[in-house]
Amino acid sequence: MSNEFDLIARIRARVEAADADPAVLVGIGDDAAVMLPEPGMALVTTTDTLVADRHFRSDWPADDVGHLALAANLSDLAAMGATARWALLSLTLPDADEAWLDAFLDGFLALASRSGLRLVGGNIASGPLNLGVTLIGQADPARVVRRGQASPDQRILVTGSLGDAAAALELQEAAPESLRRRLRRPEPRLRAGEVLAACAASMIDISDGLLADLRHLLPPGLGATLELAALPTSPALRQAFRHDERRWNLQVAGGNDYELLLTVAADRVDGCRQALAELALDVVDIGRVTRESAIVCRTPDGDVFEADRIGWDHFER
């Protein structure tokens, strides 16, 4: 039966099998990690916790869980316009299951490699399945993008498509594979975040739902008008939910999209689109910032649409 230190050695062996990062002076195995930041760059850090059967199902494949745990945090770095550098991983595991850990690392480390990220340390404890990830990234201090910087009449843009992950949650086993993949293996928009940092006035990633995160994005006193007809919709979502109101609810309140939501001056919208075209990623204009504090959703007929709820709440049951 493996113990804590056997599992740590297993993780370390996987990490050290990859190419070394010369900026990591001390990695896994000491009391703390030591890294050299790039001169002139600001450090950008984020942390998140994923709890089994709250943020993911405990019966999901472990490689999907590993991917999701990292993707959720990478999405936060993307929203700041940062690049990813280093990760800390805190695992609380019900038992020392080497096969589960290996599969988890398959998902986690594959995404880390694609994202230019190095795992440098962490912790393992015994208990109900719980995953804690801390990331350290970097950004040009002059190009860090924040919330709360929007102005009236700026356009509201979103990358990718909305509602797929929420649809997978609602449909459960009946969901087509393309929707399930958006739930279990979201693609963090890291490169898009770097590109959009040059034109965005403010930016956030959509994890709690479009309406909830738009409210987080806007400064106090400002609101928005959203055009539901403009919401980017995947063919799979349109096929699964043909009734407009059901689909709109998933798109504005469902969450787990991990797309980027940003405000942009009207004369910079085309520039944003052209920049992302090189990444083969769509960015869609879905509305505008208003001086009124309410967020209003308009149907194609001009009517006001009221969503069933605002979005995800960690303490809602």
Helix (H) or strand (E) holding 210: helix 210-217
Helix (H, G, I), strand (E, B) or coil at 170: helix
Q: Is 48 annotated as a binding residue?
A: yes
Q: Is 225 annotated as a binding residue?
A: no
Q: Is 299 annotated as a binding residue?
A: no
The strands making up 130-139's β-sheet, listed across from edge to edge, are 42-51, 130-139, 83-93, 118-126
**By C-alpha distance, which of 132, 261, 258, 248 is closest to 196?**
261
Contact 153, 261 (CB under 8 A): no
Q: Is 63 annotated as a binding residue?
A: no
Q: Is 55 annotated as a binding residue?
A: yes
What residues are paired with 227 via a beta bridge?
Answer: 298
Q: Is 102 annotated as a binding residue?
A: no
The dihedrals phi and psi of 271, each to the nearest 5 degrees, come to -65, -40
Q: Is 311 annotated as a binding residue?
A: no
Q: Is 122 annotated as a binding residue?
A: yes
CA distance 205 to 282: 15
Q: Is 60 annotated as a binding residue?
A: no
CA distance 218 to 277: 26
Q: Is 256 annotated as a binding residue?
A: no
Q: Is 130 annotated as a binding residue?
A: no
Helix (H, G, I), strand (E, B) or coil at 30: coil
Binding site membership for substrate: which residues?
55, 312
Indicate the annotated binding residues: 31, 46-48, 55, 76, 122-123, 146, 205, 207-208, 312
Q: Which residues are annotated as a binding site for ATP?
A: 122-123, 146, 207
* Residues of each annotated binding site for Mg(2+): 31, 46-48, 76, 123, 205, 208
